[in-house]
Structure formats: C-alpha cells, structure tokens
Amino acid sequence: MQITVLTLFPEMFAPVQESILKRAQEAGLLQIRLVNFRDYAISKHKNVDDVPYGGGAGMLLKPEPIFAAIRDLPQPPGKRKIILMSPQGHVFRQEKAKCWSDLEELVFICGHYEGFDERIRELADEEVSLGDYVLTGGELAAMVMIDAVARLIPGVLGEDASAEEDSHTDSLLEYPQYTRPADFEGRLVPEVLLSGHHAMIKRWRRKESLRRTFLRRPDLIKAVTFETDDYPLLEELVLEHVEIAPWKTLWEHLCPPPKRRRRF
C-alpha cells in the first residue's frame, strides 16, 4: 500500500520510521511518501498562505501549491482516496481504517495555520477528523490514521488475528487479557484461562467483551451484530448487574428470540 502525505513539516513524521511501521516498509508491505507542498509554491518567497478575503484572524493555505502537488502525483495502479485532515470532517473510526486498508493508495492533505482556501476541499474524496477538537495542524492526526490503517494490512502484524480481535473491530471492546505470573501479589488470573478448555475460554472472552462494552461504552451497542450464543451471555450479565438500571433497557432493546426472553 502507498501512503502519501502532503505536509509543510515532513520532519514531524519520524515516528513512521519506527517499530511496526518501519518493519512494514522494509518488508515492502507499505510505502510512505512525504511531499512538502511548499516546493510547489509559485511566489518568490515560496509563500503557501495568505490573508483571507473579507478579513479575519489568521492565514489560509493557498490553493495553488496543493493543487500542483496533487496533480504531480503518479497515478496509482488501483483505487486512490484523497483525505483532507479537517476538524469539520467525519470522526475517524475503526471501520474507516478497515475500509481504507483495502485501497492501493491513501493521500493525506495536512493543513496548518487558520485553515484552507475553500477550493482545496474540491480535491478531497473525504474530510476526516481525529475527534471533536482542533489541532495546530493535520500531521499528528494523519500519523494516527496511518498507524490504524497500516496494522490492518495483511502481514503487517505478523498474525492477522491480532487485528481481528482488537477493540472496535466488531464494535465491541476487547476482553481482558493476562500473562505470567498466574498469581501476582494475590491478583489471580481467571481460572478459565488456565483450564486449556478452548470452548470455555472463547465463551468467557465473548462475555467479558460484552460486559466491558456495556459498562464502558454503551453507545457502541447499537452497532453490534449479536450472535445467537450471545443471548444467554447477555441474560447472565443483566442478572449480574441488576444494580445498573440501563442494563434492563438495553436488554429490552436487543429483542432476543422469545425462548431466550425473560421478564424482569
């Protein structure tokens, strides 16, 4: 996969040359190209920004350098998406990372200063934000998105199952995990994980994933595709958390099969 970043500060992207991203590039699974669009400025002093028409605080990025940089990119062999980093864009989610990981090329346009000339938005296929807050520039957000996408490319993590079981992959948070020692200062690893009983371990992990999502991020529940085997787990969780009023409401909204339904 090719990832191209248009930025005024390519030196900020040192983290993409470390750890998993570095190994992915060395293995030929990922290529990251940094383009300083100041090189495409047409003024004598290589200015890339100017004052806004109509007045106002701050400076806006001019359209000419960014348009020229995009036009100078070699055409990819497959599908390319151009992403504008913008606090006005849709908030980045795991499902977006998964969708992007199937592309041949991603192009990130990182802004700076007060914002963009509005015509720059015409270049973008999507406007995306890291969250409902404003950063000094788009570089940090782009690095986060690059990392989220890269780890979903087959082969990057070594074991593809590692990505498949991450939090948010199926709208559920990941279940608790443990490693040695089994007893750390009296804090014990759940016995089921030491049993070697794979079916029971799978059931426990699914239940704890459901529990953690309900307790920490109930807003994610609407997007979950429940499996048939989830309904008895949900019943158990409702009974284990009778002190939490929202559980009953959430359970009723799930509308499980009649044979699994209970009255409260």
Contact 252, 261 (CB under 8 A): no
Active site residue 65: no
Catalytically annotated residue among 49, 65, 87, 230: 87
Contact 62, 53 (CB under 8 A): no
> Taking the CA of residue 29 as centre, how many other CA atoms within 13 Å lie in the half-sphere pointing to its CB?
18
Active site residue 151: yes
- Please give the single-letter amino acid code of residue 59: M
Contact 82, 76 (CB under 8 A): no
Active site residue 102: no
Catalytically annotated residue among 151, 208, 211, 230: 151
In order of 109, 128, 154, the CA distances from 8 in angstroms are: 10, 19, 31
Catalytically annotated residue among 114, 147, 165, 235: 114
Active site residue 127: no
- Please give the single-letter amino acid code of residue 190: P
Helix (H, G, I), strand (E, B) or coil at 5: strand
In order of 160, 220, 254, the CA distances from 166 in angstroms are: 11, 14, 23
DSSP 8-state secondary structure symbol assigned to residue 199: H
Catalytically annotated residue among 64, 166, 170, 235: 166
**Burial of 247 per CB tally in 10 Å (0-12, 13-18, 19+):** buried
Catalytic positions, please? 87, 114, 151, 166
